[in-house]
Amino acid sequence: MPPTRDSRRAVYRRVAQRPHIDWPAYDSTPLYDRTSLAGLESDIRTVSEMWFDHESHDSVEEFVCALPLAYFRFSAHDWYEGSTRYQMATLFRVFVLKELYGWEHETALVGYLGNRPDLCEQLGFETVPDQSTLWRSWHERFTTDLRETVETAARTILIKAQNAGVGVPREPTRKLRYHGNESGESGLDDQTTLEQAEKVTDHVSRIVFPAFSLDRGDGCEIHENAYWDLQTYLGLRERLAANEGARSFTYESTRERTPLGHAHREQIRDFSIEQVRAMYQQAITRLLNEVSETEQFFRAGIVAIDITEDDPFTGDRTGREDEIIGTKEKSDEYAYQWATVQLVGNAVPVVLDARPVRKGESRLEIAKDLLDSAEEMVHVDNVLMDREFDSQHVLEMLSQRGLSYVVPKRMQTSEKAQAKRLLQRDQDRYETDRKLHLGKNEWHETTLIYRRKEDSEHDDHRQYSVFMTNRGSGHLTEYGYRWEIESGYRSIKRFMAATTSKNFGLRFFYFAFACLLYSIWRAVDLLVQVELTGEYEHSPIVTADNTLTLLKKETGIG
């Protein structure tokens, strides 16, 4: 069915309502302008995903005719200086069509258009161009970068259409291409890996970092990118504070002007928690858009929600008791706490969202908030959580969303008694159904699974762990994926800048930016592995230090 005015409006309304999508990208961020091909690629990626989700949109050709190009300035990518018969936007659409079908020569394209006068009219052709005109336009009028954008756009459209179940003219390749990587043969030696990582990091940083903005206005002497460059630099060295880092950065940076430590902190402190989260979500959405075009990303579906603590706080917390709260282990120490939702399992371990934990917030409130963000970004099937989310109301919320879950249960009197009986019988595993009271005569039905730990140090009921799940014991093996959360937190904290400030917004920004650096590292590693081997193994081949070094180099470009 051809797109209608209402179906188009529905798509663009969805685009406008996405909380972490700025559209059009080339007119909404400081690193993009109306001639930016990266911005154009981002817009095509955003719109095509939602376009094919609409039940009335089942044709890639119709989308090509509807490509949002009205505000893009092609003149910067047009090698012709004289008068021309065909507009660049029209030629861009027709070459995207050619690439969608994978035709090597213009002859096939001309023949196809000749038999479809309605399509020609939609594309903007009064008459079908001849083969020589199209050949000259492609080889002599389009710049090299614009030709690459045509190929990228076609590949994106094929992938988004195929993901939505729309028929496509050919199978899209789910392998990314970068400048300077014309040869498909590469060995996995350290030098090759590092060279490829540099290309990918450059590509990724140009996409991700524009999501962050200081909103300082024009005319500032120190470029905004210098602040993100410095923040990345602080993550490059463990426990490096802003003042000391700013002094070192002055000598190591190639920039003429760099921010002082106190100026950097003042800019960051101006952010609200909501602003930090919005920028983070937009950056991660951009990152996911890149990795989602690889076949390996479609292993996603399992997320883990967890809470981590900052270093113990030893100062005076007067007036900040709601922010500097107790530890998860209920010790006599205090600490800032942060909650995250992260992809786990076979997927690349990207931190989808992060938020602070304040005193008095329920685990239900935290879980709902993070899942709302996660489900905006990826398709979620299964949720893994720690035992602090052992709440019947949390479990009911997950079931109402149609999600499966695995959550360890805190052992109360009845669970301890059952574990003792299992120990007497020397039984390693046991399942039983349980109804959990929700209040007002409402119940949540779940399954309790008792499992004996291997090589337990205990000789009593503590040999057993109890898990709750709504999908049977088969999902219990997935709980082992949660170990990635703890190892991920160790890396994230390694990327955090040091500070003694009590400012809640500053503290959270440092944590969120460290989550971003970690996620970029893991995404870069996936893309490098796919590019060099065609496969993705969970053990990284690109080190975190390499990625941070490359990011420090690339952040200020744009």
Q: Are 281 and 161 in contact (CB under 8 A)?
A: no
Q: Are residues 121 and 73 in the same domain?
A: yes
The continuous run of DSSP H or E covering 356 comes out as: strand 351-357
- Kindly indicate the confidence band of residue 526, based on its pLDDT and cuts at 50, 70 and 90: confident
pLDDT at 283 over 80: yes
pLDDT at 328 over 80: no
pLDDT at 247 over 70: yes
Q: Are residues 400 and 425 in the same domain?
A: yes
Structure confidence at residue 224 (pLDDT): 66
Q: Are residues 312 and 399 in the same domain?
A: yes
Bridge pairing between strands 404-408 and 464-469: antiparallel
Q: Are residues 207 and 244 in the same domain?
A: yes
pLDDT at 325 over 80: yes
Residue 111 domain flag: yes
Residue 279 domain flag: no
pLDDT at 81 over 60: yes
Q: What is the pLDDT of residues 163-216, one digit of tens each?
A: 888 899 988 765 554 444 444 444 455 777 777 777 777 777 777 777 776 665
Residue 303 domain flag: yes
Q: Are residues 436 and 544 in the same domain?
A: no
Residue 172 domain flag: no
Structure confidence at residue 97 (pLDDT): 94
Residue 315 domain flag: yes
Average pLDDT for residues 488-507, to the nearest whole number?
Answer: 83
Helix and strand counts by DSSP (H, E) for the chain: 19, 10
Residue 286 domain flag: no
pLDDT at 432 over 80: yes
Residue 66 domain flag: yes
Q: Are 422 and 450 in contact (CB under 8 A)?
A: yes
Q: Which of 58-67, 293-302, 403-412 has the lowest mean pLDDT?
A: 293-302
Q: Are residues 301 and 334 in the same domain?
A: yes
According to DSSP, the residues that pair with 304 across neighbouring strands are 342, 384
Q: Are 149 and 40 in contact (CB under 8 A)?
A: yes
Q: What is the pLDDT of residues 214-245, one digit of tens each?
A: 665 555 666 666 776 777 777 666 666 777 77
Q: Are residues 310 and 255 in the same domain?
A: no
Domain residues for 132? 5-164
Q: Are residues 302 and 417 in the same domain?
A: yes
Q: Are residues 328 and 401 in the same domain?
A: yes
| CATH number of the CATH domain containing 357 | 3.90.350.10
44: its two tokens: 């095509």
Number of domains in the chain: 3
Average pLDDT for residues 282-290, to the nearest whole number?
Answer: 86
Q: How far apart are CA 291 and CA 285, in angstroms?
A: 10
Average pLDDT for residues 467-484, to the nearest whole number?
Answer: 75
Residue 289 domain flag: no
Average pLDDT for residues 134-152, to the nearest whole number?
Answer: 90
Indicate whether this model's pTM tops 0.75. no
pLDDT at 446 over 70: yes
Structure confidence at residue 8 (pLDDT): 87
Q: Are residues 485 and 522 in the same domain?
A: no
Average pLDDT for residues 63-75, to the nearest whole number?
Answer: 86
- Nearest-Å Rg of the Cα atoms of the chain is 26
Q: Are residues 28 and 71 in the same domain?
A: yes
Average pLDDT for residues 472-491, to the nearest whole number?
Answer: 74
Q: Are residues 533 and 481 in the same domain?
A: no
